[in-house]
């Protein structure tokens, strides 16, 4: 899919914000650790992706009610839904001067359209070594969900099933979408939110 960049200015994808609060010492300490360091920019991006994918649990997978929003909350508690996990991954990249944004899909909540729909979040990152944007989905792998890091093709958690009314938004947003942030802020139970109060469209 051809991505549409929300802003032509790369610095708009480097901002330190309330949700992507990468000036926190916990964030800066982590990116300088051996676990996330790499010889090339692409290596550093992949290691940040793998950390968020594998070391930060998805709230639904562990059946946790905790709501996390900011990058530092996600890192502190080691959990969050895709909206929160994407905030942490953006922070880990932006603190290194690597432009990172947000992309979205509209997916069924269950296996069929009658289960309803929800918005799923992932990240996009600008690879200066390749002079292009790629998408990556750090939601967290499990049985039936397998996302990888790839500079050549999408290797996302969920293939979109157009026959079931699912769709992709091609825009790379510089900030988390207001509808996803609103869902996190108005809820106090992640499991209830996941089943009943996720946005269905942007």
Instruction: For residue range 24-40, list pLDDT tens digits in order.
Output: 999 999 999 999 999 99
Query: What is the pTM (predicted TM-score) of this model?
Result: 0.97
DSSP alpha helix (H) spans, the chain: 25-31, 41-55, 71-77, 82-94, 178-186, 190-196
Report residue 103's pLDDT band, with 50, 70 and 90 as the boundaries.
Answer: very high
- CA torsion angle 136 64 110 198 (round to 10): -80
pLDDT for the residue 112: 86
Distance CA 22, CA 28 (A): 7
Residue 1 in this model has a pLDDT that exceeds 90? no
Residue 110 in this model has a pLDDT that exceeds 90? no
Q: What is the pLDDT of residues 38-68, one digit of tens each?
A: 999 999 999 999 999 999 999 999 999 999 9
- Beta bridge partners, 42, equal none
Distance CA 8, CA 81 (A): 29
Q: What are phi and psi of 180, to 5 degrees?
A: -75, -40
Q: What is the pLDDT of residues 130-141, one digit of tens each?
A: 999 999 999 999
Q: Which domains does the chain have, with CATH numbers?
A: 4-196 (3.10.620.30)
pLDDT for the residue 111: 84
Rg, C-alpha atoms of the chain: 16
């Amino acid at each position: 899919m051809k991505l549409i960049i929300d802003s032509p200015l790369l610095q708009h994808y480097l901002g330190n914000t309330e949700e992507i609060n990468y000036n926190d010492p916990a964030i800066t300490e982590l990116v300088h650790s051996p676990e996330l360091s790499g010889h090339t920019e692409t290596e550093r991006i992949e290691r940040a992706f793998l950390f968020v994918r594998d070391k930060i649990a998805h709230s639904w997978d562990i059946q946790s009610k905790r709501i996390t929003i900011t990058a530092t909350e996600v890192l502190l508690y080691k959990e969050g839904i895709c909206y929160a996990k994407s905030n942490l991954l953006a922070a880990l990249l932006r603190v290194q001067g690597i432009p990172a944004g947000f992309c979205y899909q509209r997916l069924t909540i269950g296996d069929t359209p009658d289960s309803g729909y929800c918005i799923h979040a992932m990240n996009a990152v600008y690879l200066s070594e390749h002079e292009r944007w790629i998408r990556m989905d750090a939601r967290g792998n499990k049985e039936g969900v397998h996302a990888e890091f790839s500079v050549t093709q999408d290797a996302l958690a969920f293939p979109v099933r157009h026959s079931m009314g699912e769709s992709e938004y091609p825009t790379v947003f510089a900030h988390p979408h207001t509808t996803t942030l609103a869902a996190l802020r108005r809820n106090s139970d992640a499991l209830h939110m996941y089943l009943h109060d996720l946005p269905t469209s942007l």
